[in-house]
A and B are shown apart, each in its own frame.
Chain A
């Protein structure tokens, strides 16, 4: 889709960037791909670079992935030696250099315009869209395609299988495979690749991941990385799908594809499924998530910079034995004033967890004020 928007007529250089800044809590698939099959990514990138006629390509990798960066650099050197990248590739007139660029430890660099700013050597403040759609005004104000690791790996397989056949994998509008990263209180957490929509969340938890730990019951699921809205285990979800079909699902019936989690008010996001059982204190979980977003806000937009910090302070205080009756409403008020008021989607990423935790587990936040003050439950940094 992004490739269609590429400005090919500007006369400026075209760049390709692989977004390997995998930082969404609960997500750990790109690292596996880069560690175990780096040439798959490089081949996908070189095909993509050739298709868009990029002469320079970058893999922007998360700073903490020391080993991944090293593996990729070695793999690129091998590919250059075999003339799969570099000058006059495979004897053709096409040349494209590929380099690994390591980030400096900021989650916001996963946002594509923040990533571009960082790659230009600047603080990674996301850019306003419009006008700064990377396909038109990207790296050095030139047309730029930013794709993630999974997408670029798929390029090779789309060519290999053929576009028409590839589109038959999965379900209509939810094509291809999806790698799901399952973490939390299941017997077999890990990464699993399935056709889109091939199984439900219940099948993933109980069949693929072996179910919950002994004696535990399911309490909640975050279906697409920490930014996605949490779902209660005892909820019923009903409505209409995009194709007009009625649905009435329990949490275990939600199809694992792009549309399923979105239909029930959340999203499949990064594919990071976080399972929570009845031992999880939702205020503590919220405090953990809020600490992350407060730390990672770039600080450019006031609602996000201040709001994420206040949400962290409030939930930290609640966990340290100083919860107040009005805290649930206060948190919700702060979150509501972040959503839709920031340059990039980080604002929503920070606000949605709080909004959904309060909506789904308000009783636990209120209980904290009534009962929890005598006993601090968690010491947070």
Chain B
């Protein structure tokens, strides 16, 4: 019954959810570019405020 052309998961939000090496600590998040969008965002004029 399993078809070869069934789409694969596209994990955006759950990208790290089942990675045993990924922890929920901030150090791990920062190593994976965490908070980079927020850092850019607080630059004046980046977001409609």
Contacts and interface: CB of A to CB of B under 8 A. Distances in A.
**Main secondary structure on A side of the interface with B:** helix
Contacts of B12: 154, 157, 169, 176-177, 193
Nearest to A180: B9
A38 B7 contact: no
Given A37-B24, A39-B24, A211-B1, A194 B38 contact: no
Interface in B19-34: 22, 24-26, 29-30, 34
Contacts of A199: 6-7
Q: State the main secondary structure of chain B at its contact with A.
A: loop
B13 A177 contact: yes
Given A47-B37, A51-B49, A207 B6 contact: yes
Contacts of A159: 37, 40-41
A178 to B, nearest CB: 10
Contacts of A46: 38
Interface in A220-277: none
A50 B25 CA distance: 23
Nearest to B33: A160
B16 A37 contact: yes
Chain B interface category by residue count: 20 to 34
B35 A84 contact: yes
B7 A94 contact: no
With a 10 A CB-CB cut-off, give which of B1, B6, B25, B40 has the most chain A CB atoms: B6
In the complex, which of the residues B11, B39, B42 has the most CB atoms of chain A within 10 Å of its own CB atom? B42
Q: How large is the interface on A (under 10, 10 to 19, 20 to 34, 35 or more residues)?
A: 35 or more
B47 A191 contact: no
B37 A32 contact: no
Contacts of B39: 90
18 contacts: A36-B22, A36-B24, A37-B29, A50-B42, A71-B24, A79-B26, A82-B35, A156-B38, A157-B12, A169-B12, A179-B13, A194-B7, A199-B6, A203-B7, A206-B1, A206-B2, A207-B6, A208-B6
